[in-house]
Structure 1
Amino acid sequence: MDAVKVLLRRAPFTVVLVVVVWTVAILTKSLSTGPSDELIDRVGFGPDQFSIGHWWSPVSSMFFSGGLSGYVWATLLIAWLCGLAEMRIGTIRTAVIFVVTHILGTSLAAGMIALSMRTGDWWPTGLAVEVDPAVGAIGVGFALSFQLTPTWRRRLRVVLSLALVMCALYIGSMVDLARLFAVLPGLLAGAVVAGRKWHTGGQPSSVETRLLVALVVAASAVGPLVATVTQTANGPLSVLQSLFVGDQPDAIDLEYVCGDPSAVQDCQNLRALLRMSGVGSAILSIVPVLLLLVLAEGLRRGRKFAWWVTAGLNIALTWLGVLLLMSYPADALPTTTQDWIQLLVPLAQPLVIVVLLLATRKKFRVSAPPGTYMKFAVITLGTVVACCVIYVGGAWLLRDQFESQPGLHAILADLPTRFAPPGYLGLVDFAVVPTGWWSMHLHHWIGVVFWAVVIIGGLVTFRKAIVERRAADRSRARELLAEYGGSSMSHMITWRGNDYWFTPDGKAVIAYRVISAVALTTGEPVGEAESKSAAVQQFTQFCATNGWTPCFYSVGESLRTELSSWSSVQVAEETVVPLPGLEFRGKKWQDVRTAMNKAGNFGVTAQWTSYRDAPPWMTEQIAALSDAWLADKGLPEMGFTLGTLEELADDEVRCLVAVDEDRKVHGVTSWLPVRQDGEIVAWTLDFMRRSNSAFTGVMEFLIASMAIRCRDEGVEYISLSGAPLARRRDRGEKVPLLQRLLDVVGRLLEPVYGFRSLLAFKAKFQPQYRPLFMSYPDASALPSIGNAITKAYLPRITLRQAGRLAGKLIIRRYPR
């Protein structure tokens, strides 16, 4: 009930409009198949509605749709665009823009169709009257774009424009035209509402340009599928759906038609259709779409190879389109404007893509690591050779399962067609037609196997990144850390798994790792102050050049403020214990004092050592403790900003070990040095393990012992490190949606990894809390960033471990 009140308060027009549309649909029995013929003639918009006196049709048409799927899509569009617009420009303005743009869009579409009908039917359409409640939502969406940042303004406009143009050109109904015609009124209304408050934002960046070009290429790929799925496609580009399979005959139909000597052409057409039948051939039919989508991903990453292949493929599609249109020599030349449009527009689309690629070619300069494409070529060549051998050998062995037994020459002649989409085989005379089960599957699936390898291989090549790894880089990073110091997390840049980028003057370094085209940093830049301040922008440009998305992970408030134009979210809560004047007095330190007393009663002392210098009996027990801990969890050990046993071997890392009089290790903690100007000023807690038989409170004892030791040595503070996916909730801040989602993830993982329990444990030491953030430039990259972070923390997770993790989450969340 509270959620309904919030919706009504924040977006009343949107809620009321959706409720009215669905109520009208139910009351008029229009929900499943749209309004009846009699009703749609009265309420729909069309070229003849004004002439017969239905002046209200541009308004009444906004309350109906053509069927259930239309109502669902319209509801989603209205909820998204109108709901957001109400929050940005107000309810009254949203309602006015919606109504006005709907009226103008439907009127202009009806007028265009009327003009077409009177001047030669130059626009194909099969319906005289239509209805749609989402025309005004499109106008509102374009008006809303003026209220967004330049980046999201461009993206919203490009995505909506591509969708509208694609639907208009491929489907071509009056609804699609009405939505397209609502764009200009929406832009004008948005400019009026925004006044002088909006600005163009300048030219898009290289990353933005790559994304926009990729969207255009992806739209050109998806368009033919839209035409195929839509049974009423009439747009100028709907002819391209002939590249996809339709109704298929069977072998009996083929035998009957081909038995008639006078039906040679029909026989050839049926042979082609039969070769397109089946799941394998259907998959093979959409290979051009899948190739273009993979190439679009390569373009998004700025890959030079993707640019060349996309340009070549669009040139080839133009040529094949010409061949396809010439496959019916008996047809006369086009005589009407509509015929010329349907002839020329399909040829123009790939040419437009080529022109766009040429205009933006300088943005696509990212290369793959050396040898990537050679390896890809070898795999591709090996696959095609294997497929050819399998097909030729299999067809020869199964030659009695064909319409007529083919010879080796006929099988070899048929071989190239097995790798071509069936829609492109209209001119081919088929002599090898399978009739048996095995021959049909061989015939249909051999090409699918080949293209699956090519498509997956191409996608993998686009995900490979060039990262220059030099053995000396890690030593240089350690030297900069020793000279200039860093934050409490900075020592983690010396861990294995990091790559390093240095400023041009060599005085600052950023540790990062590239995962799924995301350059994920390990904390903040380290180095000389002035170089650090310039490092962030220079590193961002470095990432853009390589087609990566930069993400500064586990950074403090100061760097977050410096990146104020970026988005950010809290990913951990660091706890810091100030040491000057520290005393374990009062009730709030009761648990710590109890742990110290227990340690004395059990004869346990805290020994300060490095892992390398520790005696064998100690290191063996520490390793056994770690193994036992992992075995008890039954889950993969996390890495990235969480140290493991490997990181203990660092000579600069110290261990504080709880040992009793019998040399039994009860627990161990490791501490990372924190330096400023070459001097150690603090220590950061990293590795923690305890024995199953250790006394209760051994970890409290070790941390308290470290605090006392460091206090007496004049150390400023100790950091108990950050607790991932956990945070304080008493800051009184407005919690954004992404932060709430991370809170949910933390709550789900709590029974397994216990991050919130860890933060609660650290509260025993009365720490100061410092939030750690993740800063990123583009919210659209969040799925890739999330994937990169998951792989960084769990780099070696196996399928079995993933299943065990999922099982534990389910069992602990839904116990019997």
Structure 2
Amino acid sequence: MAYGLPSLLEGRWWTPLVGSFFVVSPAVYVPTLVSFAGMALLEWRRGTRVALLYFGLGQLIAVLGTSAIVAVAAQWSWPWADSLAVALDVGPSAGTLACIAACSTLLASPWRQRLWVAVVAYVTVGVLFFGSLADLEHAIAVIFVLTVTRSFRIHRASLRDRRLLAFAISLALGVVQILSLLIPTNGPFGPTNAFDGPWIDVLIDSILILVVTNALRRGRRWAWVLTLCVGSLNIVVAGLYVTVIAIDPASVQVDLDVARHAVLSATLWLGFLVYLFATRSAFRTRRRRPLGAENGRNALPPPTVEDVRALIKTEGGGTLSWMATWDGLEYFSTRTGIVPFQRHYGVAIALADPLGPAEGQQSSITEFIEASEQNALVPCFFSAGGHTRDAVPPSWRRLAIAEDTIVDLPGLTFAGKSWSHVRTALNRAQREQVAFRMTRLADESWGIKQQLRAISESWVGEKDLPEMRFTLGTMNEAQDPEVRLALAVSAAGDVEGFLSWLPVYGPAGKHLGWTLDLMRRREGGFGPVMEFLIASSASTFVEEGAQILSLSGAPLAHDVSGETDQIAHLLSQLAGILEPVYGFTSLHRFKQKFNPRYEPIYLLYRDEGDLARIGPALIRAFLPEASLRQFAEAGIDMVRKE
């Protein structure tokens, strides 16, 4: 039943077929059946016929191809080939591995390249270090699929993927070299014994790999050069061993185990160096290089806050664009505009949509992504709108994180049942003599300013975590002369509550409306003060001719009932945990009283592999001053309230 070169030479032509239904021992049936998961996935996505073709052809070509290679190699008195020439094998592993490799065509970039690297690394290590008949069959099956699908094209991989693959290969290379010393091997270059290899060489290589691995992921030029030097040295040493043994094998005093380890290591290093040379353009970054900085005369000067203000007033922006003028942001200058962003933990978080003319937005997004990747930063867009969503590369992922609540002002009246809560608040304010005033912070008296700060500090003091930033303003941002304040003042002169409104500019710098930022109320004061302030502000803006009023979006308050993305549901659960601390969901429900229309706000990112870094970066962006102790205390408080 077993297949192999002896079976074919003896005329047992049926063995490549029937041998696929057996394994070498009953225990092997368990991993064998598990390996059929790749074929099941392929059948589910591509159909039964395609899955059977990949499995059948992969198995048959692997078995026959291995026999042919072994028959030719055995003519050269090669000990490894001689041992395989008399070996037999059973099992469908070559066919199932062909199906697993074919599953790469089902994946989007960059997961396609990552799966290919894992599969190729598996068969390469198998052939070089263990060299059994099955290992050679696996390699031929993978080569068959790679030839048919041609889905592994590293030159089409993104800058980030090339660096990530170099990072993975470097780590794997170090691990394989260490394991080769701990376990016996028997590959094409001959057998080696455990614990008999070149420990000093492997130790030096491993230390150097640890030094350069993370730097390769970040695209550092020095790491690329050092890796080339280390790899070249390994190849030269292996070449010297082979040369000395080939000149006079009888008299040479060389430990064959050490020589074989050196040759095995050099073979792996050679493949890695070929990859590094082919992707050399991905390793050009230098430490602490400003985002967008270029060598030469065409370097663009970094924009200032005044440049950002002028661009918004000239070209317009979205409802969140004025937040680009706040402290803590960096600015990346493009040929057509400016991208505001924050940098945390190796992530460049672009805030909202790029600034500048609408026709240049695509170019700004592309330039920002390229500059971020060139500087080994993970690019993403937070609180982006639909235009940015449509302009990012098609392979990017999108996640609706909130909804911008917009009230259209022309013709706005508070008539009808849906506005009953608002009318009640206005009538009660009139009865209790609570007055409304639209103003600016700089125009108010010292006493009013002190009341505003006291209200704000009282609100912040109730939280276990400090006041949030990034897309949530503070009293510092309210001091901007362009920002307006809505005050509710009692008959006794006490401030019951206040709002801050950010300006919204449209195309050609036309003033379109206002975006709500701060919402603060005095503890124990006028109950429906927020409904009163928002309604009164809307009436004032209608009289001034404004077009829209944005109540902004509450983070983590997006309804995910219609979404299947697991990350969206994870954020929904996180929102439930954070609700006792920040009340995002309650705020979202409150804004529904004003009958707004909704526009989704997105987090845009390259793929799921970036989320592990984007998450901590966003936490630091929102809570730049929070300490580890505050996070712990807030977590305990959340658990208690749950």
Q: Who is 2:297 aligned against?
A: none
**Kept in 2: contact 1:611–1:649 (CA 8 A):** yes
Q: Who is 2:104 aligned against?
A: 145
Distance 2:593 2:196 in 1: 68
Equivalent residue for 2:385, pick from 556, 560, 568: 556
Instruction: Name the SS of the counterpart of 1:808 in structure 2.
Output: helix
1:166 aligns with 2:125: yes
**Kept in 1: contact 2:58–2:94 (CA 8 A):** yes
Instruction: Name the SS of the counterpart of 1:526 in structure 2.
Output: coil
**Kept in 2: contact 1:611–1:655 (CA 8 A):** yes
1:752 aligns with 2:584: no
Q: Who is 1:303 aligned against?
A: 220
Equivalent residue for 1:209, pick from 132, 154, 162: 162
Instruction: Name the SS of the counterpart of 2:553 in structure 1.
Output: strand
Task: Quote the offset at 1:530 in angstroms.
Answer: 3.4
**Paired AA for residue 58 in structure 1:** G
1:476-487 map, 5 Å: 476-487=307-318
**Paired AA for residue 212 in structure 1:** L
**Kept in 1: contact 2:312–2:356 (CA 8 A):** yes
Distance 2:444 2:25 in 1: 78
1:597 aligns with 2:388: no
1:585 aligns with 2:537: no
**Paired AA for residue 720 in structure 1:** L
Equivalent residue for 2:493, pick from 656, 663, 667: 663
Which whole-Å deviations, capped at 9, do the CAs of 1:763-806 have from their partners, x for residues lacking one? 11110000011223444333233332232222232111221233
Distance 1:356 1:572 in 2: 42
Instruction: Name the SS of the counterpart of 1:718 in structure 2.
Output: strand
**Paired AA for residue 269 in structure 2:** P
**Paired AA for residue 98 in structure 1:** F
User: Is the alpha carbon distance of 1:752 and 1:148 closer, same or farther for their aligned partners in structure 2, counting shifts above 3 Å?
Assistant: same
Equivalent residue for 2:231, pick from 307, 314, 320: 314
1:702 aligns with 2:619: no
Distance 1:49 1:634 in 2: 75
**Paired AA for residue 703 in structure 1:** I
1:712 aligns with 2:543: yes
1:369 aligns with 2:328: no
User: Is the alpha carbon distance of 1:123 and 1:797 closer, same or farther for their aligned partners in structure 2, counting shifts above 3 Å?
Assistant: farther
Distance 1:199 1:164 in 2: 15
**Kept in 1: contact 2:197–2:257 (CA 8 A):** no
Which whole-Å deviations, capped at 9, do the CAs of 1:618-644 have from their partners, x for residues lacking one? 222322333322332212332211222
1:517 aligns with 2:346: yes
Q: Count the aligned residue pairs.
A: 627
Distance 2:218 2:73 in 1: 43
List runs of 5+ in structure 1 lacking aligned partners.
Answer: 1-41, 192-197, 246-271, 277-283, 371-463
Instruction: Name the SS of the counterpart of 1:723 in structure 2.
Output: coil
Task: Quote the offset at 1:480 in angstroms.
Answer: 0.7
TM-score calculated relative to the size of structure 2: 0.84
User: Is the alpha carbon distance of 1:685 and 1:244 closer, same or farther for their aligned partners in structure 2, counting shifts above 3 Å?
Assistant: farther
Distance 1:501 1:135 in 2: 51
**Kept in 1: contact 2:112–2:152 (CA 8 A):** no
Q: Decide which moves more: 156-165 or 310-319.
A: 310-319
Which whole-Å deviations, capped at 9, do the CAs of 1:296-340 have from their partners, x for residues lacking one? 3322322112212222333455577789999x9x99659999998
**Paired AA for residue 300 in structure 1:** R
Task: Quote the offset at 1:579 in angstroms.
Answer: 1.3
**Paired AA for residue 313 in structure 1:** V
User: Is the alpha carbon distance of 1:483 and 1:124 closer, same or farther for their aligned partners in structure 2, counting shifts above 3 Å?
Assistant: farther
User: Is the alpha carbon distance of 1:221 and 1:487 closer, same or farther for their aligned partners in structure 2, counting shifts above 3 Å?
Assistant: same
User: Is the alpha carbon distance of 1:190 and 1:502 closer, same or farther for their aligned partners in structure 2, counting shifts above 3 Å?
Assistant: closer
User: Is the alpha carbon distance of 1:553 and 1:100 closer, same or farther for their aligned partners in structure 2, counting shifts above 3 Å?
Assistant: same
Equivalent residue for 1:88, pick from 37, 41, 45: 45
Task: Quote the offset at 1:91 in angstroms.
Answer: 3.6
Distance 1:619 1:331 in 2: 95
Task: Quote the offset at 1:524 in angstroms.
Answer: 0.8
User: Is the alpha carbon distance of 1:628 and 1:142 closer, same or farther for their aligned partners in structure 2, counting shifts above 3 Å?
Assistant: same
**Paired AA for residue 344 in structure 1:** V
Distance 1:487 1:235 in 2: 63
**Paired AA for residue 234 in structure 1:** N
Instruction: Name the SS of the counterpart of 1:802 in structure 2.
Output: helix
| Higher RCO (C-alpha 8 Å, min separation 6) | 2
Equivalent residue for 2:462, pick from 632, 636, 647: 632
User: Is the alpha carbon distance of 1:150 and 1:555 closer, same or farther for their aligned partners in structure 2, counting shifts above 3 Å?
Assistant: closer
Task: Quote the offset at 1:668 in angstroms.
Answer: 2.1
1:346 aligns with 2:265: yes
User: Is the alpha carbon distance of 1:66 and 1:478 closer, same or farther for their aligned partners in structure 2, counting shifts above 3 Å?
Assistant: farther
Q: Who is 1:58 aligned against?
A: 19
**Kept in 1: contact 2:291–2:332 (CA 8 A):** no
1:677-696 map, 5 Å: 677-696=508-527
Distance 1:107 1:334 in 2: 40
Q: Who is 2:617 aligned against?
A: 788
**Kept in 1: contact 2:116–2:152 (CA 8 A):** no
**Kept in 1: contact 2:197–2:261 (CA 8 A):** no
**Paired AA for residue 584 in structure 1:** F
Task: Quote the offset at 1:111 in angstroms.
Answer: 7.1
Q: Who is 2:55 aligned against?
A: 98
User: Is the alpha carbon distance of 1:580 and 1:233 closer, same or farther for their aligned partners in structure 2, counting shifts above 3 Å?
Assistant: same
Instruction: Name the SS of the counterpart of 1:772 in structure 2.
Output: strand
Instruction: Name the SS of the counterpart of 1:634 in structure 2.
Output: coil
1:652 aligns with 2:482: yes
**Kept in 2: contact 1:521–1:552 (CA 8 A):** yes
List runs of 5+ in structure 2 lacking aligned partners.
Answer: 295-299
Task: Quote the offset at 1:523 in angstroms.
Answer: 1.0
User: Is the alpha carbon distance of 1:719 and 1:291 closer, same or farther for their aligned partners in structure 2, counting shifts above 3 Å?
Assistant: farther
Which whole-Å deviations, capped at 9, do the CAs of 1:446-475 have from their partners, x for residues lacking one? xxxxxxxxxxxxxxxxxx978799786111
User: Is the alpha carbon distance of 1:776 and 1:660 closer, same or farther for their aligned partners in structure 2, counting shifts above 3 Å?
Assistant: same
User: Is the alpha carbon distance of 1:129 and 1:227 closer, same or farther for their aligned partners in structure 2, counting shifts above 3 Å?
Assistant: farther
**Paired AA for residue 369 in structure 1:** R
1:492 aligns with 2:449: no
Distance 1:129 1:153 in 2: 33
Which whole-Å deviations, capped at 9, do the CAs of 1:718-762 have from their partners, x for residues lacking one? 0011122222457x6x63344334334334433433322221111
**Kept in 2: contact 1:302–1:363 (CA 8 A):** yes
User: Is the alpha carbon distance of 1:241 and 1:582 closer, same or farther for their aligned partners in structure 2, counting shifts above 3 Å?
Assistant: farther
1:219 aligns with 2:172: yes
Which whole-Å deviations, capped at 9, do the CAs of 1:4-49 have from their partners, x for residues lacking one? xxxxxxxxxxxxxxxxxxxxxxxxxxxxxxxxxxxxxx8x777767
**Paired AA for residue 79 in structure 2:** D
**Kept in 1: contact 2:238–2:259 (CA 8 A):** no
User: Is the alpha carbon distance of 1:723 and 1:173 closer, same or farther for their aligned partners in structure 2, counting shifts above 3 Å?
Assistant: farther
**Kept in 2: contact 1:636–1:796 (CA 8 A):** yes
User: Is the alpha carbon distance of 1:639 and 1:133 closer, same or farther for their aligned partners in structure 2, counting shifts above 3 Å?
Assistant: farther
Distance 1:73 1:514 in 2: 47
Q: Who is 1:182 aligned against?
A: 141
Q: Who is 2:186 aligned against?
A: 234
User: Is the alpha carbon distance of 1:672 and 1:182 closer, same or farther for their aligned partners in structure 2, counting shifts above 3 Å?
Assistant: same
Instruction: Name the SS of the counterpart of 2:499 in structure 1.
Output: strand
1:642 aligns with 2:472: yes
Q: Who is 1:7 aligned against?
A: none
Distance 2:11 2:454 in 1: 89
Task: Quote the offset at 1:368 in angstroms.
Answer: 0.7
Distance 1:648 1:485 in 2: 20
User: Is the alpha carbon distance of 1:715 and 1:153 closer, same or farther for their aligned partners in structure 2, counting shifts above 3 Å?
Assistant: same
Instruction: Name the SS of the counterpart of 2:486 in structure 1.
Output: strand
Equivalent residue for 1:292, pick from 196, 209, 231: 209
1:528 aligns with 2:326: no
User: Is the alpha carbon distance of 1:233 and 1:488 closer, same or farther for their aligned partners in structure 2, counting shifts above 3 Å?
Assistant: same
**Paired AA for residue 85 in structure 1:** L
